[in-house]
Structure 1
């Protein structure tokens, strides 16, 4: 293995594990997980679901029907919030959660790190839900203008792939820009005070920056990336709990259908849950596509392409086979 590639990846994984440990402790009051106690996922009494600031699972949590439906079967849900996909999948890796959602890129990093993840389902492509932003009065007018500039993003997140594709499309290399890696909250601060020239970010942070900071879209994901939301599970949980997973997917699809037909009402409903003003959430929902389906061959091939790209750029330590993260007949 290339030594530089290995060092960079190990630093990334170590940082994610540290952040995840802090997040899990904050949400559950525990500094770790009892992996042995949860090794047998049959006859499960509690499903541990990881979610982020915004997404389909977040809507499902707020709506509450899944909790009631599983409660009727004697199963409780523990909802655990994470700042981003990489941290959520690290928690899945160490056994803190059974099921969760991320964008396209985090599962690639997780699989390369040996995490026992499996793809369950995905939403449709929503390329307008992430973008490269610059300040309102920035002299930067094109991706080519980013050469020599500072760009901030959350390493290993969906927008990592967006930046890669945008830079390649402009005829540049990643080495042509100075990339800083920060989680969304810290990245927003750096962007707002001018410490960086551009911010690569996803909704709802993207919409919030547009409205509150008057940030300008340099380029969104349209024509570059799919920007799908993925639902993933820990392998042993998925292998013996397809009935539970099917119920989760049914409820997610039902919620998605309602939101797509009632965007204004959904935004008002979610606003207190996620502490984001309803007009901002409306902007997010209006550029989001809806619908949940089990992963298909086409989607898996897109994920393989992302994995190959990250490997060729030395962002992951070894090549991955996306089908190693799939359960047959699921």
Structure 2
């Protein structure tokens, strides 16, 4: 009798497990209806977009919408004035599936338990500038000591700003740091509410209007003083919809290819200008820089090294409370499939941890140069 009772309980437990498994499978099998992409900027223009990234090429050309339209899947782009920290919150609340994100805020999100995987780089080596009113006596990083300086804390520019201060003998506590978003920083500079601001190419517009002056630029300097951005996806979404993830990556790689072609430089900047940042600003931001270097989607040693450095620096500055792993955060499998599918396996140069072309890539480039020269 006891054996019979035990058997009934075992059978009841198995039935419960099977039922839960079936319900779970049915839930995962539900068709995809919407792909939601969060972007860590307020954006601008109509439709709202942003510039300076291959991802915005896909957005402005409607390539993702074209990709999913035959299946009746809607693509939603959500823009966040609160930048990286706001995107982290949206990921945590499962309000978005993918995110265009900067290195520091995404590291902070990972340290706080967000489970995502980085699919590709989408905007590498972004420059940082120190901007002042035109009549300011600030000429260098050292001159920022004791000054009121706008820093958009928690964004990928925050850490580079700290590194620049450190490289010039200062720390953030040596300045009167004021946390302002991009729009507020521009207004504060114009009204002289701050003495200087760290920012990106959005300040070139004010410079060209005579309202500010660029006092310092990371352009052409050590690539460790640049900011990186990427596309990543929630683990849960990737597990449930791997095919959709592959299709999104395919489109982003296609956009990176187009944005890396020097023949498209003028058209690219005009396209990005639709976001509200003038064409001339992108001309200045990308001056003397190869599009294929800035717009490469590759997850190479330089990219991985920069994210490891961000983790170290964030720990040092107590922006995160625990170490986070990086190597298992990157998932290049989708990117590799896209490169092979699109015939782009040798499209971009891979860089080492210091930001220099890998020896093999240099050899290939030299071989191509010799080959093209011998055909004359």
Which of the five TM-score ranges fits, normalised by the shorter chain? 0.7 to 0.9
Alignment partner of 1:210 out of 186, 207, 210? 207
Q: How does 1:72-151 map to 2 (within 5 A)?
A: 72-83=70-81, 84-123=83-122, 125-127=124-126, 129-151=127-149
CA shift, 1:231, in A, is 0.8
Given that 1:60 and 1:252 are in contact with CA atoms closer than 8 Å, whether structure 2 keeps it comes out as: yes
CA shift, 1:66, in A, is 1.6
| 1:8 equivalent in structure 2 | none
- Residues 237/181 of structure 1: CA separation in 2 closer, same or farther (3 Å cut): same
CA-atom RMSD in angstroms: 2.5
What is the TM-score with the length of structure 2 in the denominator?
0.69
Mapped to 2, the partners of 1:157 and 1:169 lie a distance apart of: 19
Alignment partner of 1:320 out of 324, 344, 352? 324
Q: Output one character per residue of 1:130-150: Cα deviation in whole Å (capped at 9) or x when no partner.
A: 222222221111111111111
| 2:6 equivalent in structure 1 | none
- Residues 41/58 of structure 1: CA separation in 2 closer, same or farther (3 Å cut): farther
Given that 2:116 and 2:235 are in contact with CA atoms closer than 8 Å, whether structure 1 keeps it comes out as: yes
Query: Are residue 45 (structure 1) and residue 46 (structure 2) matched?
Result: no
Mapped to 2, the partners of 1:82 and 1:254 lie a distance apart of: 25
Alignment partner of 1:309 out of 296, 300, 313? 313
- Residues 296/40 of structure 1: CA separation in 2 closer, same or farther (3 Å cut): farther
Alignment partner of 1:263 out of 256, 262, 265? 265
CA shift, 1:270, in A, is 3.8
What is the TM-score with the length of structure 1 in the denominator?
0.78
Mapped to 2, the partners of 1:284 and 1:60 lie a distance apart of: 20
Q: May I ask how many residue pairs the two structures share in their alignment? A: 289
Q: How does 1:233-252 map to 2 (within 5 A)?
A: 233-252=233-252
Q: How does 1:27-46 map to 2 (within 5 A)?
A: 40=28, 43-46=31-34
CA shift, 1:320, in A, is 2.1
- Residues 209/106 of structure 1: CA separation in 2 closer, same or farther (3 Å cut): farther
Mapped to 2, the partners of 1:152 and 1:263 lie a distance apart of: 32
Deviates more, 1:53-62 or 1:274-283: 274-283
CA shift, 1:328, in A, is 8.5
CA shift, 1:101, in A, is 0.8
For the residue of structure 2 that corresponds to 1:210, the secondary structure is: helix
| 1:278 equivalent in structure 2 | 279
CA shift, 1:195, in A, is 1.6
| 1:14 equivalent in structure 2 | none
Q: How does 1:221-232 map to 2 (within 5 A)?
A: 222-223=221-222, 224-232=224-232
